[in-house]
Chains A and B, each alone.
Chain A
Amino acid sequence: MAAKLPQSLADVPTELVETDLLIIGGGNAGCFVAIEAKEKQPDLWVTIMEKAHIKRSGATAAGMDAINTYISKSESPESLVRWSRSQVGGLIREDLALSNARVLNQAVESLDAWGLPILRDENGEYKRRGRWDISIHGEQLKPIMAERAQAAGAQVFNRVVATNLLIQDGRCVGAMGFGVRDSKFYVFRAKATVVSTGGACGLYRSPTNDATSSHHQTWMNPFNVGSGYAIGIRAGAEMTSLEQRWVAARTKDFCGPVDTVSVAYGCPIINCKGEEIMSARYAHLGGDKAPRYLRANAPMEEWLAGRAPTYIDTTKLSDENAKAMKTDLLNERPSFVLFLAARGQNITEEPVEIYGSDPYIVGGHTGSGFWVDLDRMSLVPGLFAAGEAAGGTPNKFVGGCAAEGMLAARGAIKYLEAANLPALDKVQVEAEKARVFAPALRGAEFDGVTPLEMEERMQRLMDEYAGGIAQFYRMNEERLDYALKHIGILKDQVQYMYARDLHELMQAHEVIDRLDVAEVLIHHLKFRKETRWTGWQTRMDYPEVDPKLDCFVESRRDRETGEVRVFTRPYEQIVPGDRMKP
């Protein structure tokens, strides 16, 4: 049970942990960092800092039904890069994507060796569910990875929230945070740090948000708030492509996965008139194989045109396939099956309704996140990123995030061989400790705002002004400026936020982190004055593609002034071919 809030800062003990490699976020990528690091160098001290419990933390908490990138015999790393490139308007870091693709299968095969049930076909090969997807029964995916990380000898700190990186001499020498059960202030000193905190959910309001029991009906794990991005931003790290938001076709209301599943089972998207809208309206853009953002946006267009509701047509499924689809869903989001049951819905009689999702920032799906080099190191020396936190490589999904974890581990090991830690900067530590516990020490008479109030306000702001689902993802310069202004006010209002227990203190920091990410996100959205991915970013004032923006949009926030500078980096093609075609 959680310890009581401290009475004063002096009551808060500081726990100092020395390690070689610090991993912030013990999820899919994080566990693979640990496992690979320990395998490559068994005597390395590896520490995982996890705000929940690594056994079920992160996006794979409930499990997974497929690994959506695996290179089968008829494909190659290059063909994967070509396909991935075509899905995001031709903008990916080809160097990163290639390096990831080359380790991808090894990561997936490790999971197989560790006991993850991967379905096989009659020939004993991994059963393909699509061009890149293979079917798994992944209800135990996360426990398997977590156990492996522990067996490898990683030191795990569960229930410790990371609040900021430790930056000295312009490089990252660890991180700081607090224990959400033990109320301690933690300082981790590490020669290399990997940020693998997953993506950012909850920047925008979820469409089914209500006051009683529905706030976290999101596709992405709502406890992944983008803290990794936030601490990177605050440390002055460069972020890439945040404007490449991830919006996807999702089951309506429940907001569960449906996109890959529907493609795998051959269920086309239909509107209320029964028209197959992808082939009807988007044939020239790929039809059913059109990029994800189009598939996400398509239902929205039907709604706006008065041809709603929209569905995936499950009525043509055989009973066997319907059961298989539900089994898949039980592996990834079991409560979706409960949702269907709670509507008394038989999917072979009544098709599954779909809609777009709220927007997320997830570097495992799009290219948003830390700008990193081939070693997965960001522009802050000693600071690495892997998984959804790392940008440049869209369409990683489970397998790619795992592979990136391995690459980051290798990069970090290379780096820390020569790394020496300076003496601890006590001033920075004390300042962070005060910042972390400030909301908890306001006093009983304090007149202020709860984290929930700030969170809801921010979410509605983003929803209405920064292209959320209530606005069908549409945005324009003036609204973005409005959003930016009010995010600024909210950031200033953090001084009025208070927490009544440790859980709420964690929520307070989740709000603070989201605000920092939202601010930089809006800068990115403003900068890219075009509409390259309808839905992910629909600029009403710039509805066409601008060839001058065939490049990466980058940002850096100044550590001292807080000023966000936005600039570009050129695109580099390695794999030949038309970047828009798979």
Chain B
Amino acid sequence: MPPKEPLRIGVYLRDRGGTLSRWCDLDVAARTFAKSKQIAQWEVREDWLNPEGQAAIQDAIQSGRVNRLLFVGRFTASEDEDIRGLAASAGLNPHLVDFCVPEEQGIRGGDDARDLNTKRVIALFAMALARARLLQPLEPVELPAVDAALVVGGGMAGLNAAMVLAQTGKQVYLVEKSATLGGRVAQLHRYYPRMCDPRCGLEFLVRRLRDSARAEVLTLATLEELRGSPGDYHAVVVQRPRFVSEARCTACGECLRICPATVPSSNGEGERKAIHPTGSLSVGQAFIVEREHCPPGCRLCEPACPYAAINLDQTPAHHSLKVGALIVATGWDPYPLDQVEEYGYGRLPGVVSNLEMEKLLALRRFARGNGHGRTGGGPLSVGFIQCAGSRDQRHLSYCSGVCCSVTLKQILALKEQAPDARCVVFYMDIRASGTDELLYQRVQNLTDVIFVKSNPATIRPEDGTGRLRVRVEDTLSGKEVALDFDLLVLAGGLIPSAGTLEVSDRLGLPREELGFLESHLQCQPWESQRTGIYTCGTCRGPMNVSQSVESANSAVIQSLRLLGSTVQVQPPYPVLDRTKCDKCKRCTEECPFAAYAFDEQGFPVPDLAKCRQCGICQGSCPMVVLSLGNHTARQLSAQVEALSERAPVKGQPLMVALLCENDAAHAAVGAARLGLDPPPNAFFLTVPCAGAINNATIADALSCGIDGVLVGGCRDGQCHYVRGNELVRKRSSDLAEKLRKMRMDEARIRFEAIEVNDARRYRDLLHEYVAELTRLGPNPFRV
């Protein structure tokens, strides 16, 4: 078997302004490692990024003198990139270049610290070399991608997303389960604050999509199945039959005359036949047959159509679509207000929801002569009850944020139709934020509009008058008031739609505690917890129309990286050693992003397009067979073991902190930059996520004599990878249990939630931990 190529590490120190050599004795450090056969070169320069330095690097690589590089000193992120790029152009894989920053470990400072700094820097070099020895030449992976996207949901957010995608030149499929587009916004009377008709904007969107060669709109359609990977999904969409041919129907209306079935109005719109047109917010002009409303066996319309456009035997169509990303925009449903029993919704006539009020306004019911006048004459009296079923532990605990502005808008619209209408708003707080405050002021200044700060206690019909009596205690005046109304509008909140829940179940998209689709607001703002599936609009949470449109645009921008001909996955990514894997499936379970699937032999296979490179799988594996490139458990263990042999100060506890690079490590670096020195025997190492720490590494640390291991991760709910911190806590508590049985102090493993700005707290924590370890005494494994 051919021998492995020997390691030839070049250790290149950057001594800018002579600071590093002032802080520690670099000659002593050099001598300490002089005997190592694996170090081919050890050189100190003022700067490695000037032309001479760069030439030296290139020459060393090209001459074969070095095959690994370790840079010591402080480098900015872009200098880091430049150096790797330089190495790559000279022929060395950029992942075989590593960096070691003494300053970050608090190795800086005046002459009296020089001796200690030297010892510390030697320990640090030993760790860095241990890691450098195990560096692998990682390569990016190219995965196939498709230049198309699928938008699920044809409401405001979905239509916007589809249009923007088409505009950017991507093929887009829009899937909408009903026969018409526009969703809930199509049911609105006006937008606030401009008070324009939403149909105007919606029709514009629909027309743009219809006319676009790149957009295909499928109504009566649902997403049945999604297979494949981000960038390369295969979606199966099933389209329910329309029973009317889109090519042949001319909308002549002959069928309407013959159709015996009427469908009762569900939203005050009046009746329609079982066969009917779908209106302007639909694809094409063809009618649709709602077969479930037809009398059994009735086929009268079929022969009646002069164009033979009706086919009652039409079967569902299956569409097989290749797409790179999904954008879910499945919207909201109104909270079922009949649950709020005391308000009598569904029981008392005259109690309507705010959504139904939109319909009444759209039908101009309040204009004189249109039917919603007051019995017995006189001005119409309308009450608005805010927070109906919201901010209430019995119903929706949260505030939907839009209902106050909606009520204000509805009052304006109502007053436009019935100028002398009297309006009372029952409220707890009016939450018209931002410029909506102006809307509030406008409405307050209208005549016959009063605001009563109270939650109505009872609503009863008044016998004989047909009106509703509301009893309420006005909290501002303290008096009990009884008011009579012709109409009561309940300003109800927004809940995730049934369609949202369906899609969430079908695609395995996690929901947060209120039921909306979960994402990670700061770190992956528009992506769900399943890579490649983006969310926008109210399926994410209550929002108004303009927020919905903005979110659609943002989701589209995020999705663009997956829409192309290939998806490039940069290292690090996990690699599985099958020969050691015993298929326990813990990696699959612990991955927060469901990035693992099983092959025919039952081995877990990471989908690199879904992977978010956190390394939680590596941390979970009891056999340590998963390696996240150049962030491996074996590297961490080697570093920790190297440290165990070189405690800078004898007789003091030796501790290592394993910190997540997103939060906790920043606190450590911050502490160093602020000059808050760590205890002399304390060092930190970074991991992509605290969840990437494997118990075997902690076991190695403790068994080789490290006195204490501090694991630093995020606070609950803040982990960039959802729950890496919780997972490492659970695993290390199992390990702590074992330590207890081994007569080792459980305190030798400690988990702390450390935030980015916790520099001072971090420093204090280290000193406190060292004090505790001192009390515990040395690790019994110390030889």
Contacts and interface: CB of A to CB of B under 8 A. Distances in A.
Q: Do chains A and B touch in the complex (CB under 8 A)?
A: yes
Interface of A: 55, 113, 143, 146-148, 150-151
Contacts, number: 11
Contacts of B1: 113
The binding surface of chain A is classed by DSSP as: helix
Interface string B1-16: 1000000000000000
Contacts of B582: 55
The binding surface of chain B is classed by DSSP as: loop
A223 to B, nearest CB: 19
A98 B580 CA distance: 35
Contacts of A147: 579-580
B578 interface: yes
| Interface magnitude class on chain B | under 10
B5 to A, nearest CB: 15
A147 B576 CA distance: 13
Interface string B480-491: 000000000000
Task: Select the residue from A113, A148, A150 with max chain B CB neighbours within 10 A.
Answer: A150
Given A147-B580, A150-B578, A151-B578, 8 more contacts: A55-B582, A113-B1, A143-B580, A146-B579, A147-B579, A148-B579, A150-B579, A151-B579
Interface in B574-622: 578-580, 582
Interface in B1-44: 1
Contacts of B579: 146-148, 150-151
Nearest to A113: B1
Nearest to A149: B579
Nearest to B578: A150
Contacts of B578: 150-151
Contacts of A113: 1
A456 B582 CA distance: 35
Contacts of A150: 578-579
Contacts of A55: 582
11 contacts: A55-B582, A113-B1, A143-B580, A146-B579, A147-B579, A147-B580, A148-B579, A150-B578, A150-B579, A151-B578, A151-B579
A143 B579 CA distance: 9
A113 B580 CA distance: 17
Contacts of B580: 143, 147
A55 B582 CA distance: 9
Nearest to B1: A113
Nearest to B582: A55
A147 B624 CA distance: 14
A160 to B, nearest CB: 16
A150 B1 CA distance: 18
A55 B625 CA distance: 14
Task: Select the residue from B578, B579, B582 with max chain A CB neighbours within 10 A.
Answer: B579
A146 B582 CA distance: 12
Contacts of A146: 579
Nearest 5 CB-CB pairings of A with B = A147-B579, A151-B579, A150-B579, A147-B580, A113-B1
Nearest to A39: B1
Contacts of A143: 580
A150 B577 CA distance: 11
Task: Select the residue from B1, B578, B580, B582 with max chain A CB neighbours within 10 A.
Answer: B580
A55 B579 CA distance: 10
A143 B581 CA distance: 11
A151 B1 CA distance: 15
Interface string B335-377: 0000000000000000000000000000000000000000000
A55 B578 CA distance: 13
A211 to B, nearest CB: 30
A143 B582 CA distance: 11
Contacts of A148: 579
A113 B4 CA distance: 11
A153 to B, nearest CB: 10
Contacts of A151: 578-579
A451 B780 CA distance: 48
A356 to B, nearest CB: 36
A257 B582 CA distance: 30
Nearest to B580: A147
A146 B581 CA distance: 12
A55 B583 CA distance: 13
A535 to B, nearest CB: 41
A224 B578 CA distance: 27
A528 B1 CA distance: 47
A143 B578 CA distance: 13
A352 B582 CA distance: 38
A415 to B, nearest CB: 27
B720 to A, nearest CB: 34
A151 B580 CA distance: 9
Nearest to A110: B1
A500 B578 CA distance: 35
A550 B677 CA distance: 81
Nearest to B579: A147
Nearest to A109: B1
A389 B520 CA distance: 61
B66 to A, nearest CB: 26
Nearest to B625: A147
A147 B625 CA distance: 12
A150 B601 CA distance: 13
A113 B1 CA distance: 9
A113 B2 CA distance: 11
A148 B577 CA distance: 11
A148 B582 CA distance: 14
Interface string B554-580: 000000000000000000000000111
Nearest to A151: B579
B534 to A, nearest CB: 40
A525 to B, nearest CB: 43
A150 B579 CA distance: 6
Interface in B680-738: none
A151 B581 CA distance: 11
Nearest to A53: B582
A357 to B, nearest CB: 32
B699 to A, nearest CB: 14
A143 B625 CA distance: 13
A535 B580 CA distance: 42
A406 B750 CA distance: 50
Nearest to A55: B582
Nearest to B623: A143
A492 to B, nearest CB: 43
Nearest to A148: B579
B583 to A, nearest CB: 11
A55 B580 CA distance: 9
A146 B579 CA distance: 8
A256 to B, nearest CB: 23
A143 B577 CA distance: 13
Interface string B71-96: 00000000000000000000000000
A146 B578 CA distance: 12
B751 to A, nearest CB: 30
Interface in B258-279: none
Nearest to B577: A147
B445 to A, nearest CB: 75
A401 to B, nearest CB: 21
A56 B373 CA distance: 86
B632 to A, nearest CB: 16
Interface in B126-174: none
A150 B582 CA distance: 12
A108 to B, nearest CB: 14
A39 to B, nearest CB: 10
B37 to A, nearest CB: 13
A338 B582 CA distance: 28
